[in-house]
Amino acid sequence: MSVWAQPQQLKEVRGYVRVVAEDAIEWRHRCGWRNDVVVCDLHVDLASRKLASLKVEEPAETKKEKLKEAPKEVTEELVADEDFEDFPSDEAQHVNLVFIGHVDAGKSTIGGQILYLTGSVDERTIQKYEREAKDKSRESWYMAYIMDTNEEERAKGITVEVGRAYFETAKRRYTILDAPGHKNYVPNMISGASQADIGVLVISARKGEFETGFERGGQTREHAQLAKTLGVGKLVVVVNKMDEPSVQWSKERYDEIEKKMGPFLRSCGYNTKKDVQYIPISGLQGINMKTRMTPDICPWWNGQSLFEVLDGLQLVERDPKGPVRLPIIDKYKDMGTVVMGKIESGNIRRGQTLMVMPNKAVVKVLTIIRNNDEIERARPGENLRVRLSNIEEEDISPGFILSSIKRPISVVNEFDAQLQILDLLDHKAIFTAGYKAVLHIHAVVEECEILKLLVQIDPKTKKRMKRPVLFVKTGAIVECRIQVAQVICVELFKDFPQLGRFTLRDEGKTVAIGKVIGLEGASSSA
C-alpha cells in the first residue's frame, strides 16, 4: 500500500528513507522508525531544501508480524560453528575517529588535509577539486571537497552524510567518520559518534567563531556532550584556523580557548587530565598535523603534532573472545545482502553462522570486506562490510545487530533506564509518564514513551530519594521505564556500555542522556 503525504509530515516520519529529489538526484537520509512504516520516498526541492512530497509505503508484513514467526531452529551444529577464540594478528590497531564541532570549524578541511598528507588522495584529484572550488568561487573550500563528496554538499559547503575515509599512520589504521556540523544533522553525528573511539573536537580560533560555536545553541557544546554520552572516551580538541589573520598563532587566543573549554568538558564528564588533549593546527595549510611545526611558525608550541597525539592515545580494549555484536548502520544489495558497521565485540570469520537480531534470522557470513579488500577474519573495532546469505536486504534495518547465536543480544520493547535530564523544551518543561521522544541508541533511532518514573536520584549525593516521583524538570536524574514503538536490541550499560547508553531527543534537541539499567521487558534468548 502506498500513501502520499504532505510535506509537513517529514518530521513525523523517521525511518531510514530513500530521498529522491525532483531532478532525480538521489541521496540517503537517515531517520528512525515510525510504527510500521518502513519505506518512504521523499521528494525534495533542492533549491529550498524543503520536502515537496512524500510517499510512504507500508510493507506487506510489518516487522512485528515477522517477529511473531517462530525463530529458525538453532541446532547444536549451528552453535558449534561459532568460535570465541582470538587469533594472532600483527596488523596495526584500527581506530575510528569522529570529527565533531560547530559548522565551519574546519572538520571537512582537516579530514581532506589528512587524506592528502597520508597520500590517500593524489595530487591530481586535489587539483581537480581546487579547480572545481574556484569555478564556484569557493577557493578556500577545496580541501573540504575531498570529504564532502556529493554535489549538493559541495554547492552548500556542508557535510550532510557521515562521510567515511580511511588512512594509515606509521602506528595505526584510521577510519574518519566526518560528522556534519549543521544543527539539523545531529542525528547523523550520533550515528558517527556511536562508533567512534576518538573524538576530534574541532574549534575555530578565528575571532568570533569560537564564541558562536560555544554559545548556547552552538554545536560545540551539544556535540561534546553527545560524544561523551555515546561513549567517545578520548577527545582531541583541535584548535584550528591558527593561521587566520585574526589569530596569527596567538598564544593568548589558544590559552583563552583552552581555559574556557576545560570546565565545560569536565561538566560533560571528561577527565580533562587523562582523556582530553589540546593541539593548535591549521587544517587549511596542513600545519602541525603530520609533522611537528617549527618555531618560526609558532615559537611557543613545543608539543606534539596531531598524528603523534592520535597515535599515542590509549584506547579501550575490545573483547575478541566476547559474543559477536555488530550494530548494523547501513545495508545494501550487492550479490546478496551486505551490511555495514563496526564490530563491538567478538571475532567474525568467513563461513561463520550468526544471527541477525531482532529478527532471529540465522545467516552465514559469505564475505568480509574491509576498505575494498576481502579478508578472512576480523577482530573487534574493525569497520566492515559483511555479505550475508539467507536474508533479504528489506528484512534488515539500521539498528539491527549481527549477533552471536549462542549468546544473543537482548531484544526489548520496554526497559529501565537511568536518565539525566539535560534541557527540556520550553513548552514541554515537565518530564513525566507519557512523555514521548526519539531514542538514539547505537545505530537505532526509535520513537519511545516514558511509561513510569521509578525513582529520583539526588544529583549531589547520587542517592535514591525516598519520596515517590511523579514528574521531574531539567537537571534531574531519574530512573524510569521506557517503551519503544518497535522492539530494539540493547544491552545493560554495565555489561556493554557501547550498546547500553543512549540519548533522548525531542523536536531536534537532545533533552536527556541515559543508560540501560534493567531489561525486564527482554524477550530474547535464542
What grid cell was written down for 74? 538453532
Q: Are 242 and 252 in contact (CB under 8 A)?
A: no
Amino acid at 242: M
What is the smallest separation between the CB atom of 242 and ligand GDP, expressed in angstroms?
7
By beta-carbon proximity to ligand GDP, the closer residue of 247 and 490 is 247
Least separation in angstroms between CB 22 and ligand GDP: 26
- The least CB distance from residue 202 to ligand GDP, in Å, is 6
- Shortest Å, Cβ 236 to ligand GDP: 15
Give 91 or 211: the residue with its C-beta nearer to ligand GDP. 211
- Dig out the grid coordinates for 102 from the structure: 560547530
β partners of residue 325: 345, 403
**Residue 490 CB, nearest distance to ligand GDP (Å)?**
32
How far does CA 192 lie from the centroid of its chain?
2
183 — phi, psi (to 5°)?
-50, -45
Three cell numbers, residue 485: 514503538
Evaluate whether 353 touches 337 at the Cβ level (below 8 Å): no
Greatest C-alpha distance within the chain: 70
| E strands present in 334-397 | 337-342, 348-349, 353-357, 361-370, 373-375, 377-378, 383-389
Of residues 138 and 349, the one with the C-beta less far from ligand GDP: 138
Q: Which is nearer to ligand GDP, 106 or 346 (CB)?
A: 106
Q: How near is the Cβ of 241 to ligand GDP at its closest, in Å?
A: 4
Q: How many CA atoms lie within 13 A of 123 on its CB side?
A: 0
Among residues 240 and 353, whose Cβ is nearest to ligand GDP? 240
Query: Which residue, 121 or 284, is less far from ligand GDP as judged by CB?
Result: 284
Among 342, 98, 86, 344, smallest CA distance to 201 is for 98
Nearer to ligand GDP, 138 or 370 (CB): 138
Cα-to-chain-centroid distance, residue 470: 33
Q: Based on CB atoms, which residue is closest to ligand GDP, 282 or 359?
A: 282
Sign of the alpha-carbon torsion through 386, 391, 394, 396? negative
- Residues 301 and 447: their CA atoms lie apart, in Å, by 48
Do residues 452 and 481 make contact, with C-beta atoms less than 8 angstroms apart? yes
Report, in Å, the least distance between residue 105 CB and ligand GDP: 4
Residues in contact with ligand GDP by the rule CB under 6 A: 103-109, 140-141, 144, 157, 159, 181, 202, 240-241, 243-244, 282-284
Residue 465 Cβ vs ligand GDP, minimum distance, rounded to whole Å: 42
